[in-house]
Amino acid sequence: MSTTIGENGQNGVYKQRPLICSILDPNAWFKPERLHPQVESLIYWRDVKKSGIVFGAGLITLVAISWFSVISVFAYLSLLALFGTVAFRIYKSVTQAVQKTNDGHPFKEYLELDLTLSQEKVQNIAGVAVAHLNGFTAELRRLFLVEDLIDSIKFGVILWVFTYIGAWFNGMTLVILAFVSLFTLPKVYENNKQSIDTYLDLVRSKLTEITDKIRVAIPIGNKKPVAAAATESDKDK
């Protein structure tokens, strides 16, 4: 299927890549070098303690949201965090008074962190978001208006599969599964890269072969199979 996703090319030019290739290409999904160092450290479990804390806290929060309202979960977690910081602040103040030290505010390091977003960063994020949105909109138009019959049929099959996924899982369950996958799949792929790539190469080749056969059997659309295009090129020579 040639549904596309965006990728920044040279000189910041936005390029389109076939979605089916990206789905079956782990290198398109698992690229540690494209992540912020702190994010990469978390989801690849470079520091087991930090990753475990973030994963556990996030999972507990998502499970709580699935059982209670978002407002209630947010309020209780905020109260818990506020109680912890107030208690720690009082403890440090008492400790400093007893020991007659002047260590200052216990959260001084975090209070001085710069949390502002620069205008350049906001513009970069907005530019990437707009490029992805434009590509997504154009691709939906192409699929729904049947520019290529085979691609539209594949898209219909994917939508049909989603009807079953929607019947089996609710939205919050999918979010939880996605969160768990975020902290597991990258590390699994990193540890088993060679064997996973081998199997996915076989799947890609089979899908390409099947797609080419279907295009030959149903010659409707604006794309020619790779094998057919190569044969015509040889005949021209």
> For 203-220, what is each residue's pLDDT tens digit?
888 888 888 888 787 765
Average pLDDT over residues 145-160: 87
* 106-118 tens-digit pLDDT: 888 888 888 888 8
- The pair of structure tokens assigned to 67 is 């059982």
β-partners of residue 17 are 5
The rounded distance, in Å, linking the Cα atoms of 116 and 36 is 17
CA-based nearest residue to 148, from 209, 222, 51, 204: 222
CA dihedral 139→145→150→155, nearest 10 degrees, is: 60
76: its two tokens:
């209780």
What is the number of alpha carbons within 13 Å of residue 25 lying toward its C-beta?
A: 11
